[in-house]
């Protein structure tokens, strides 16, 4: 009989996810460019939740507005009016540079970290005013020139021309923010956004990278890679928790750790997880504590292979099993969140019933593979039970030597 989901665990995951996001160091990006160059289209395709359309635009100055949304660790500063007369352009520059100065004085969390200077590649021209603006701006913050609506060879030639000017910028990128329809059966696919993401990650402060990865929706594989790297910390910790008591760790110790694991992975992906979705995912493994029951099952099927199990070897099984469970839980969760994130990006949110089935299948698949591997490897622990290793510290030293 399938164990019903633990709704306290569901609430804990949601609450801890919000805490994780709230604790991220926000990323602040300045958007500069004339009206109609495609800044809003760029924003809505780079960042999740269609930030330009749904974000709250709060005026900072007459020609600058602040765009943000609760639960999204990013702030955008969008300029307007650059195409107006010379007197207005001077006023815009003054407002812009004063804002950069003020934000820097307010501290690292408020400082502007990078500027995207957007130019329509179709225009194939850049005015002296813009060149002057870029040069002055690059003295204050890193600048990436984004050539929007880049179609064909003219766009590449325009990029080459700007690069030949030797401006003090990080990079000049050709970008097509979304598919460009030429006719009913012919379109130019979007491109350049992943390059913009990777270029940005290279230059922003280290402490802001987690927030930027949360906010971006272009590179789902990058989110998954970050989640897998981070999850290994939990997997290592789970071995220590699972080592004692024998024969398997207490669920009261493992479950809070696993809740924290799921919450942090959810925060990395930054997808719109509601209670119903979390409930479906948790139900797929019988509640997070269901993973502990799976661990007991693995122990009961492996312990018979080991003479003297229940002593030191039993502790090794417990620690290893805790790691197996946590690994299966983390990696299957990351796989499923990758699918949800891609669906959210494409506007095709998966059905909850399908999510639960998918999570269960991924979890069981990883669990079976790992438990079979453990059954083979743990037959080698006989020599441990015959040694004079006695303290938990010595057990862990032995295990590290064995794994290396």
30 and 13 in one domain?
Answer: no
Least confident residue range of 23-27, 57-61, 104-108, 185-189: 185-189
379 and 245 in one domain?
Answer: yes
253 and 182 in one domain?
Answer: no
Residue 211 domain flag: no
Contact call for residues 285 and 360 (beta carbons, < 8 A): yes
Last residue within a domain, chosen from 153, 175, 204:
204
Residue 367 domain flag: yes
Pairing of strands 56-61, 64-68: antiparallel
Residue 210 domain flag: no
Q: Which residues contact 30 (CB under 8 A, 6 or more apart)?
A: 76, 77, 79, 96, 100, 112, 114, 115, 116, 141
Contact call for residues 147 and 174 (beta carbons, < 8 A): yes
Residue 318 domain flag: yes
159 and 39 in one domain?
Answer: yes
pLDDT on residue 4: 54
Quickly list H helices, 112-188: 128-138, 152-164
Q: Which residue has the tokens 């270029």?
A: 199
pLDDT band at 355 (very low <50, low <70, confident <90, very high): confident
Q: What is the pLDDT of residues 211-253, one digit of tens each?
A: 999 999 999 999 999 999 999 877 776 555 544 443 444 445 5
1 pLDDT above the threshold of 60: no
What angle in degrees, to the nearest 10, is found between the helix axes of 352-377 and 275-283?
40
292 and 184 in one domain?
Answer: no
256 and 394 in one domain?
Answer: yes
Bond before 245 cis per omega within 30 degrees? yes
Cα torsion 360, 363, 365, 367: sign: negative
Task: For the chain, give percent helix, strand, coil, nearest 5.
Answer: 60, 15, 25
Pairing of strands 114-120, 143-148: parallel
357 pLDDT above the threshold of 70: yes
Residue 344 domain flag: yes
320 and 196 in one domain?
Answer: no
Structural domain boundaries, residue 87: 26-204
pLDDT, averaged across the chain? 81
Last residue within a domain, chosen from 145, 170, 204:
204
238 and 121 in one domain?
Answer: no
**CB-side exposure of 99: number of CA atoms within 13 Å?**
26
67 and 12 in one domain?
Answer: no
- Residue 186: its H or E element: strand 186-188
> 221 burial class (0-12, 13-18, 19+ CB within 10 angstroms)?
exposed
Residue 134 domain flag: yes
Nearest CA-CA partner of 31 in 70, 71, 60: 60
pLDDT on residue 385: 46
pLDDT on residue 381: 47
Residue 128 domain flag: yes
75 against 56, higher pLDDT: 75
pLDDT band at 320 (very low <50, low <70, confident <90, very high): low
Q: In the predicted model, what is the mean pLDDT of residues 273-302?
A: 63
* Most confident among 109-118, 267-276, 336-345 (mean pLDDT): 109-118
- Cα separation, 395 vs 404, whole angstroms: 14
- DSSP labels for 206-247? GGGHHHHHHHB-S-HHHHHHHHHHHHHHHHHHHHHHHHSSSS
250 and 178 in one domain?
Answer: no
Nearest CA-CA partner of 7 in 282, 296, 320, 359: 282
SS3 32: strand
384 pLDDT above the threshold of 70: no
Q: What is the pLDDT of residues 112-156, one digit of tens each?
A: 999 999 999 998 889 999 999 999 999 999 999 999 999 999 999
pLDDT band at 75 (very low <50, low <70, confident <90, very high): very high
Residue 1 domain flag: no
Give how many domains the chain has, as a whole number: 2
pLDDT on residue 387: 47
pLDDT on residue 186: 79
- Assign residue 134 the CATH number of its domain: 3.40.50.300
403 pLDDT above the threshold of 60: no
Instruction: Give the full edge-to-edge strand order of the sheet including 114-120.
Output: 56-61, 64-68, 74-79, 27-32, 114-120, 143-148, 171-174
199 and 224 in one domain?
Answer: no
- Cα separation, 118 vs 83, whole angstroms: 13
* Displacement of CA 266 from its chain's centroid (Å): 8
244 against 357, higher pLDDT: 357
124 against 289, higher pLDDT: 124
pLDDT on residue 28: 98
262 against 256, higher pLDDT: 262
Which DSSP symbol is given to 351? P
Q: What percent of the chain has pLDDT over 70?
A: 75
Angle at 232 between CA 231 and CA 236, to 5 degrees: 125
pLDDT band at 352 (very low <50, low <70, confident <90, very high): confident
Q: How many residues does this entry show for the chain?
A: 404
223 and 199 in one domain?
Answer: no
Last residue within a domain, chosen from 172, 204, 236:
204
């Amino acid at each position: 009989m399938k164990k019903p989901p633990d709704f306290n665990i569901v609430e804990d995951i949601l609450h801890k996810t919000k805490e994780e996001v709230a604790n991220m160091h926000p990323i602040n990006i300045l958007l500069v460019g004339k009206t109609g160059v495609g800044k809003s289209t760029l924003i809505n395709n780079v960042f999740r939740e269609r930030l330009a359309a749904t974000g709250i635009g709060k005026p900072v100055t007459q020609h600058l507005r602040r765009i943000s949304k609760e639960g999204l660790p990013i702030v955008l500063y969008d300029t307007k009016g650059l195409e107006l007369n010379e007197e207005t352009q001077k006023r815009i520059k003054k407002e812009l540079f004063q804002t950069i100065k003020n934000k820097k004085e307010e501290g690292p969390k408020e400082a502007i970290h990078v500027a995207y200077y957007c130019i329509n590649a179709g225009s194939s021209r850049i005015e002296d005013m813009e060149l002057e603006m870029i040069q002055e701006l690059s003295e204050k913050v890193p600048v990436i020139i984004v050539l929007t609506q880049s179609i064909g060879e003219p766009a590449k030639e325009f990029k080459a021309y700007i690069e030949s000017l030797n401006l003090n910028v990080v990079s000049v990128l050709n970008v097509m923010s979304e598919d460009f329809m030429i006719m009913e059966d012919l379109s130019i696919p979007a491109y350049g956004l992943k390059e913009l993401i990777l270029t940005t990650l290279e230059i922003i402060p280290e402490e802001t990278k987690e927030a930027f990865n949360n906010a971006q929706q272009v590179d789902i594989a990058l989110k998954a890679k970050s989640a897998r790297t981070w999850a290994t910390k939990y997997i290592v910790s789970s071995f220590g928790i699972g080592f004692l008591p024998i024969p398997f760790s207490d669920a009261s110790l493992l479950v809070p750790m696993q809740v924290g694991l799921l919450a942090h992975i959810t925060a990395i992906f930054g997808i719109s997880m509601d209670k119903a979705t979390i409930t479906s995912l948790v139900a797929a493994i019988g509640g997070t504590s269901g993973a502990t029951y799976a661990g007991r099952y693995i122990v009961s099927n492996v312990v018979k292979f080991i003479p003297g199990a229940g002593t030191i070897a039993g502790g090794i099984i417990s620690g290893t099993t805790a790691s197996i469970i946590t690994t299966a839980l983390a990696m299957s969760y990351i796989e499923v969140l990758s699918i949800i994130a891609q669906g959210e990006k494409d506007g095709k949110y998966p059905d909850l019933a399908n999510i639960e089935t998918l999570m269960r299948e991924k979890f069981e698949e990883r669990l079976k593979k790992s438990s079979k591997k453990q059954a083979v490897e743990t037959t080698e622990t006989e020599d441990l039970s015959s040694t004079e290793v006695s303290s938990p510290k010595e057990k862990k030293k032995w295990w590290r030597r064995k794994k290396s």
